[in-house]
């Protein structure tokens, strides 16, 4: 596994070593010892979520009030997503900035984001599937949302899917009602 810290401290892109043969492919998508060595912290798994999305589905920007905060380890198991991390930690030198990475079923990268960071995913093809390992069980009283199209953030969302066709963004009513930064 290779860990690369993103431009936002506390967020890492994890690239696994892919082992293929005539049977298919194998990779380790999470390994506690390597995770702790690279990030300097343990990951306390409390909940696992799976989300399946049509092309153009935009989920987020979601975050959990910090404290307690929720760390996430996100892996695409089918299809492709643009994964966006936003620094929402007051006082952070990178507050209000974002970074992104393509998560897909080819390179099998994952993203880890620490507590206090916002997260959004945009599905780039139909039936794209993502798994979230979460450090905190879902707690609606701490759940928060931020408008993914907030001009202050100026996130550069793709307008085409992985197949080159135009994307029509599909958001939940809750995400559409989210306020800006």
Band of the pLDDT at 153, cuts 50, 70, 90? very high
pLDDT digits (tens, 9 = 90+) for 106-126: 999 999 999 999 999 999 999
**By C-alpha distance, which of 53, 55, 178 is closest to 124?**
55
Question: In the chain, what are the domain boundaries?
Answer: 2-176
Residues annotated as part of the active site = 62, 132
pLDDT for 178 equals 98
Check the CA dihedral 92-98-102-103 and report its sign.
Answer: positive
The phi and psi torsions of 19 (rounded to 5 degrees) equal -115, 110
Strand order in the sheet with 110-113: 2-5, 11-15, 110-113, 72-78, 128-134, 47-53
Q: Options 3.40.50.970, 3.40.50.740, 2.30.110.10, 2.60.120.10; which CATH number does 2-176 get?
A: 2.60.120.10
pTM score above 0.85: yes
pLDDT digits (tens, 9 = 90+) for 43-99: 999 999 999 999 999 999 999 999 999 999 999 999 999 999 999 999 999 999 999
pLDDT digits (tens, 9 = 90+) for 3-21: 999 999 999 999 999 999 9
Looking at every residue in the chain, the average pLDDT score rounds to 97
pLDDT digits (tens, 9 = 90+) for 168-177: 999 999 999 9
By percentage, how much of the chain surpasses pLDDT 90? 100
């Amino acid at each position: 596994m290779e860990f690369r810290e993103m431009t936002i401290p506390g967020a890492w892109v994890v690239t696994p070593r892919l082992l293929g043969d005539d049977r298919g492919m194998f990779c380790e998508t999470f390994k506690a010892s390597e995770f702790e060595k690279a990030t300097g912290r343990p990951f306390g798994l409390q909940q696992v979520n799976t989300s399946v999305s049509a092309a153009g589905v935009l989920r987020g920007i979601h975050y959990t009030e910090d404290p307690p905060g929720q760390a996430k380890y996100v892996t695409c198991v089918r299809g492709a997503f643009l994964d966006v991390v936003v620094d929402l930690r007051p006082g952070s030198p990178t507050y209000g900035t974002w970074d992104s990475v393509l998560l897909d079923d080819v390179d099998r990268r994952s993203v880890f984001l620490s507590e206090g960071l916002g997260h959004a995913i945009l599905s780039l093809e139909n039936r794209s599937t993502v798994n979230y390992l979460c450090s905190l069980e879902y707690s609606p009283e701490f759940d928060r949302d931020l408008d993914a199209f907030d001009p202050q953030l100026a996130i550069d969302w793709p307008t085409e899917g992985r197949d080159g066709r135009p994307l029509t963004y599909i958001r939940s009513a809750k995400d559409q009602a989210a306020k800006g930064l």
